[in-house]
Chains A and B, each alone.
Chain A
Amino acid sequence: MRKSVNRQSTPDVEENQEDKEPSFQELINIELIESGEKERLMELLRERLIECGWKDEMKALCRSFIKKKGRNNVTVDDLVHVITPKGRASIPDSVKAELLQRIRTFLMSAAL
C-alpha cells in the first residue's frame, strides 16, 4: 500500500513534504540536538519537575484515573491524553523561567 493512499490528515502538523524549507523552530531544534544542549535541558527539566513535586502530582493523577477506569481499560495513550493538559498548566513559573533563560543563552551563543 502506498503511503499517499488512506493517509490520515494531521491538522496540527504544518510540514507535509520533506523538501520544504525547514521552519525556524525546526532549525533551533536541530541545533539544540546536535550540540547536545537539548539533552542537558531535558535532564535539567526532569530534575526541576521532580524537585517541585510535579512528577508526583502527575503520578497521582494517573493513579486516580486508572482507579476510576479500571486497570485493564487504560492504555498509555489514554493517560498521556488525560494528563497532558493538566501537566502543561501546572508547571511552575520558576521552572519555565529558568528553562527559557537557558534557551535564550544558548540561542545567543549559537549565533543562529
Chain B
Amino acid sequence: MSTRKPSYTNPRPCKHLSAYKLKHGLSGYKSLQKCLKTTPNGRTSVENPGTKISRCSSCNGYQGRLYFCLICSSISCSGHTLLHTQSEIGHDLAVDIERAELYCCACSDQVYDPDFDKTVMSKHMLDLSYSTNRNSADSIGERLCERKRLGSGVELADLNKSGQLALMRDHRAKSCYPLGLRGLNNLGNTCFMNSVLQALLHAPPMRNYFLSDRHNRRTCRKRSANRLCLPCELDGIFSAVYSGGGDRTPYSPAQFLYSWWQHSENLASYEQQDAHEFFISVLDGIHERESKARNQTRDSGDCQCITHRVFSGQLRSDVTCMTCGFTSTTYDPCLDISLDLDTNHCSNKPVKRNDNSSTSTLLGCLDLFTKPEKLGTDQKLFCQNCQEPRDSSKQLSIRKLPLVLCLHIKRFEHSLVRKMMRKIDSYMHFPFSLDMTPYLSSSIVRNRFGNRIFAFEGDDSDNSTEFEIFAVITHSGTLDSGHYLTYLRIKEQWYKCDNAWISEVDERVVRASQCYMMFYVHKTLYYKAKEDLSCLPVSTRKEAFHRVAGCC
C-alpha cells in the first residue's frame, strides 16, 4: 500500500536528448558500442580508434574531460563543448570519453538515458561472455526473472477459534501501559532470555501469529503427546503477557526456560549466555518443531514456518576475479545480519575527518558489510575463467529482505595486547527509520557499473525497503559478565524493559544506549495506530481478535 519507490529513477530527458532520440533513435548508441571498452571492475570508456590520444578539435588540448560528439565524432574538451553546438546545429549529444556517460552540450550537463545505459551494460555482458566462452552469462548483470513471491503477510485470524483475550481497560493500573507490556522475572542470570523474549513478543508478525492462535497448545499436545514444544511455551508467554484485565505483575517464563534447556542442552545452565546465541537457538527450536509438525523437510529458503516467514532473508555473495572480471555468485539464507563495527581502528587515515564522521553509525556498519573486500594475496581463489588462482574481491549484498530485520552488532574483537577477545564499548548511532535500498543486491550490483539505469533481478519487487525500529537490546558490562536490557517502541513511546521492571523512557535515552541487537520491521507492518489498544471497549471476542490480528 505504501507508494512504491523504484530502486532506480529514470530522470526526464532534456529537450535536446529527446530531439536526438526522435531523429536518430538508437543508431548512434549502437555504433558507439563498438568503440566502448570495458574493464573487469565495471568501468566503461570510449576507445578512440586509431590514435591513442584524444585531443580537442578546437584547442588541441588533451587534459581534463573530453567529449565525443555522437553525430560527427569530433572531440571537444569541456571548455569547447558549447562552441561545438553553436557551430554545428543539432550536435548536442556527446559522450564523456573516460567515463562513457551521456552529456548534453547545449545544457552543459550530464543527461541520462536508459537505452544508452542498456547499450553500455550489454557491452559488458558481451565482453564477459566472450571471455568466458559461455552461452548463458550469468555473472555480472542478471537477467530479469520472475521474482518468487513468498507469502509476506500472515493471514487473518480464524475467527471461529475462541481465545483467552478480552480487551478491557484495566482501571486498576497506575498508568495505562499498552497491552503486551509485562515484566519478566529474572530466573537466575536469564536477562539474556528476557531481553530477547521482549523483542519477540513485540515483533508484529510474531505477535499476530501467536495471538491469532495459530499455534494452539491443546491441539499441539494432542498431536504429539509429551514432547516439549518451544512454540507452545512461547504461545504460553504471549497469552500471559497480552492478557488484558489480567495479571500485570511480572511473569516468570520458567516453563519456557526449561523447554529451551531441553532444546539447547549445551547452554543449559544458570550461567550468563549471549543474547544473540539464544535468539538463534530459539528460532531454530521453533523452526524444528513447526517443520516437523508439517512433515516438511524443505530447506530454509522455502520453509513456511513462522520463524522463516518472519526473519528469513537472503544474502548474495559475489566473488570477482580481479584479472578478468568473472564473478561467481552464491545465495545464502540468513535469519539475521551480524555487522562489524565501523570504528576507525586503523590509524593510517591521512585525510582529516571532522568529528561527525568518527562516530560509528549503523549505516556505516552496513556500508562496511556491503563493501567489496579484497581477499589477500595469500587467499587467491581459483577463477573458472582464467583457470588459475587469482586475486579476488568479495562483496556481500542483500537479495531478499525479511519482514523483521534483526541486526546484530559484533561488539567483540581480538585484543592483540592481551591475546584474548574483548568487548568493544564504543557508541554506535542508529536510526529509528531505516531504508535498506542501498544495501540490496540490485543497488550494489548496479553501483559496480557506475550506477547505470538498468533493471536488475528483484528490482520490480513490490516490497518496501523502509523499516521502522521496534526493539533494541542493549548490553552493559564485559564479555564474561554483563546485563541485557530491551527498549521497546510502542506507538511512538519508548519503554525500558529491565527484567521485571518496565518504565517509560524518553527516546533520547534509547538513542544514547549501547545497542547490541536491533529489530526493525517493515514499515507497512508497523502500526502507528492512534487508538490505544488497551482502551478499546469490551465487545464480542470476534471483533477484538480482528483488531489485534489485522494488518494495515
Asked if B351 and A92 make an inter-chain contact with CB atoms under 8 angstroms apart, the answer reads yes
Across-interface contacts of A3 in B (CB, < 8 A): 57-58, 87
Least CB separation from B346: chain A residue: A51
Cβ-defined contact, B350 with A94, below 8 A: yes
For the complex formed, measure the closest distance between the CB of B110 and the CB atoms of chain A, giving whole angstroms. Answer: 4
Closest to B352 in A: A90
Query: Hey, what's the 0/1 contact readout for B98-116 against A, CB within 8 Å counting as 1?
Result: 0000010001111000000
Task: Check: A21 CB closer than 8 A to any chain B CB.
Answer: no
Complex alpha-carbon distance, A6 and B80, angstroms: 12
Among B59-67, B196-204, B233-241, the one that faces the other chain is B59-67
A17 to B83 Cα, complex, angstroms: 18
Query: How far apart are B373's CB and chain A's nearest CB, in angstroms?
Result: 12
CB distance A52 to B349 under 8 Å? Answer: yes
Q: What residue in chain B is nearest A33 (Cβ atoms)?
A: B52
Tell me which of A16, A33, A75, A92 contacts B59 (CB under 8 A): A16
Interface residue total, chain A, C-beta cutoff 8 A: 29
A1 interface hit (Cβ, 8 Å): yes
Question: Interface code A1-27, partner B: CB below 8 Å = 1, 0 otherwise?
Answer: 101001110100101111000000010
A-B pair count, CB < 8 Å, reads: 61
* In contact, B351 and A54 (Cβ under 8 angstroms): yes
CB of B438 closer than 8 Å to a CB of A: no
Residues from chain A with Cβ under 8 Å of B61 in the complex: 10, 13, 15
Asked if residues B350 and A52 are in contact (CB atoms below 8 Å), the reply is: yes
Specify which chain A residues have a CB less than 8 angstroms from the CB of B57 in the assembled complex: 3
Cα–Cα, bound, A92→B83 (Å): 37
Which residues of B sit under 8 angstroms from A52, Cβ to Cβ?
349-351
Most buried by A among B107, B110, B351: B351
Residues of A within 8 A of B87 (CB): 1, 3, 6
Q: Within the assembled complex, what's the spacing in Å between the Cα atoms of A40 and B107?
A: 33
Q: Is the Cβ of A57 less than 8 Å from the Cβ of B351?
A: yes
Do B60 and A53 touch across chains, with their CB atoms under 8 A apart? no
Contact B108 A90 (CB under 8 A): no
Assembled-state Cα–Cα distance A17/B65 (Å):
20
The distance in angstroms between the C-alpha atoms of A87 and B349, with both chains bound, is 16
Interface status of B53 (Cβ within 8 A of chain A): yes
A19 to chain B, nearest CB (A): 10
Interface presence of A44 (CB below 8 A)? no
Q: How far is the CA of A8 from the CA of B267 in the complex (A)?
A: 79
B329 adjacent to chain A (CB < 8 Å): no
Interface string of A24-49 (1 = CB under 8 A from B): 00100110011000000000000000
* Residue among A10, A16, A54, A76 making CB contact with B79, cutoff 8 Å: A10
**Given contacts A52-B350, A76-B110, is CB(A8)–CB(B62) below 8 Å?**
no
* A10 and B59 in contact, given A30-B53, A75-B107, A76-B110 (Cβ under 8 angstroms): yes
- Please tell me if B353 contacts chain A, counting CB pairs below 8 Å: yes
List B contacts of A1 (CB < 8 A): 87
Would you give the 0/1 interface string for A69-100, flagging 1 where the beta carbon is closer than 8 Å to chain B? 00000011100100000000010111100000
- A90/B62 in contact, CB under 8 A: no
Verify A34–B52 contact, CB threshold 8 A.
yes
Chain B nearest CB: distance from A23 CB in Å?
11
Determine if B351 and A13 form an interchain contact, defined as CB atoms under 8 angstroms apart.
Answer: no
Residue of B nearest to A84 (CB): B64
Q: Are the CB atoms of B109 and A75 closer together than 8 Å?
A: yes
In the complex, the answer to whether A75 meets B108 with C-beta atoms within 8 Å is: yes
CA distance A67 to B61 in the complex (A): 33
Closest chain-A Cβ to B351's Cβ sits at a distance in Å of 5
Most-contacted residue by chain A among B60, B65, B79 (CB, 10 A): B60
Q: CA of A92 to CA of B352 in the docked complex: distance in angstroms?
A: 9
Could you say which of A13, A34, A53, A77 contacts B349, with CB atoms under 8 Å apart? A53
Chain B contacts for A10, CB-based, 8 A: 59, 61, 79-80
Q: Residues of B contacting A7 with CB < 8 Å? A: 58, 83
Residues of B within 8 A of A13 (CB): 59-61
> Can you list 14 pairs linking A and B with CB atoms under 8 Å apart?
A6-B87, A10-B61, A10-B79, A13-B60, A13-B61, A33-B52, A75-B109, A76-B103, A76-B109, A77-B78, A77-B108, A90-B352, A92-B351, A93-B350
5 nearest interchain CB pairs? A92-B350, A75-B109, A76-B110, A1-B87, A10-B59
17 additional A-B residue pairs with CB within 8 Å, beyond A10-B61, A33-B53: A1-B87, A3-B58, A6-B86, A7-B58, A8-B58, A8-B80, A13-B61, A26-B62, A29-B62, A30-B52, A30-B53, A52-B349, A53-B349, A57-B351, A76-B103, A76-B109, A77-B109
